[in-house]
Copies of this chain bind each other. A is one copy, B any other.
Amino acid sequence: MSRSILCFGEVLLRLSAPGKQLLMQSGSFEAHVGGAEANVAVSLSRLGHRTAIASNLPDNALGHSCIGELQRHGVDIGAVQFREGRMGLYFLTHGAGQRPAEVLYDRAQSAFALAPAETHDWKSLLQDTQWLHISGITPAVSAAAAEAALLAMRAARAMNVNVSFDCNFRAKLWGTRSAQAPKILSELCQHADLIFGDDRDLAFMLGFDAGNVSATEKRRKAAAVAFETFRALRWIAYTERTRHSADSQQLAGTLHTAQDVFTTRPYPLQGIVDRIGAGDAFAAGILHGLIRGLSPQATVDFATAAGCLKHTIPGDFNLLGVSDIELFLSEVQTDVRR
């Protein structure tokens, strides 16, 4: 089947303590399906795009039910392979007030981590594909996954498929492979048209130090170095979050082109319901804008609005559609839609 956007990454099962409880405070867990690339695929599907996911999952009830959840939201799962290994899990304790949220990863030895590098036939999967999206979690999971990500990106580049890469650096996941992270991430970024990452991500990858300058200057400089270093690069995007408490924060978005910088005003986030996946919702929003041909400013506005609204949806997926996001951007005071 033809696909517009193909995401490659690990699908995770999240088990969270209900409401504001601590983990195991009472005897139950709420289950949601997530994973950075799955989140992007579902978001884009709800925004009206054809999407597909390439992944590896265990051939058991957990793996199959995750697939079902992706299908439910319209994501094509033809490129998912069932293989040896565990279901990747993570346990989530929601934050509350001044208590931060807490994630306990339990994804070692997952089917995705154990899969060899050459399990997917990228040439065939990328037929009729407009964009390939991968996050920095994929190369962190295992050396084979990193290799697979590189193969996918090279194939995409060769076939004139656009490539986006979300740095998403998480030291814990890289574990003993941390030292190689900058090199691996940089290699991947060589193939990217679009990188999601702020000045710290870029500095980490490029071994770059902006010196003692203002935050704005740091970002500008980091972007300049990145556009110079990564030859395919056309866009850099990221959000900036200010946190007052687990329930009340602020979010602003930025989109760099080689020439310009486009920013949004900081949007207040009140009564936050579920903070996980907001970055992926933003990423999906940027892809939506670029695919639909919106202006850079309209693109970053749309993406930031999507990121903000994700905070109101339980689970990892942003389930809202274009009209919900446009209503947000219209700034019309709407209390109850009838």
Contacts and interface: CB of A to CB of B under 8 A. Distances in A.
Contacts of A324: 99
Nearest to A86: B106
B249 A23 contact: no
Interface stretch (A224-232, A282-290, A306-314): A306-314
Contact of A61 (B23, B32, B72, B333): B23
Interface string A221-255: 00000000000000000000111111111000000
Contacts of A151: none
A100 B336 contact: yes
Contact of A98 (B27, B86, B312): B312
Nearest to A66: B24
A41 to B, nearest CB: 14
Contacts of A309: 97-99
B245 A271 contact: yes
Interface stretch (A3-11, A157-165, A188-196, A272-280): A272-280
Given A21-B314, A62-B23, A269 B101 contact: no
Contacts of A275: 335-336
A93 B61 CA distance: 10
A30 to B, nearest CB: 5
Interface string A257-298: 000000000011111110110000000000000000000000
A102 B315 contact: no
A247 to B, nearest CB: 3
A127 interface: no
A122 interface: no
A105 B27 contact: no
A271 B243 contact: no
A45 to B, nearest CB: 10
A180 interface: no
Nearest to A336: B101
A322 interface: no
Contact of A15 (B15, B22, B98, B104): B15
A82 interface: no
A86 B22 CA distance: 19
A33 B14 CA distance: 19
Contact of A312 (B96, B108, B311): B96
A310 to B, nearest CB: 10
A119 interface: no
A284 B116 CA distance: 39
A245 B160 CA distance: 44
A204 interface: no
Given A246-B312, A248-B270, 16 more contacts: A1-B1, A20-B313, A22-B61, A24-B62, A26-B27, A27-B30, A28-B29, A68-B74, A97-B269, A97-B312, A98-B269, A98-B270, A100-B327, A242-B333, A245-B270, A249-B335
18 contacts: A20-B313, A20-B314, A22-B313, A23-B65, A24-B65, A25-B314, A29-B31, A72-B72, A87-B106, A97-B270, A97-B271, A97-B312, A98-B308, A100-B327, A100-B335, A101-B337, A243-B334, A244-B270
The 4 A-B pairs with the shortest beta carbon distances in the complex, nearest first, are A247-B271, A24-B65, A72-B72, A96-B312
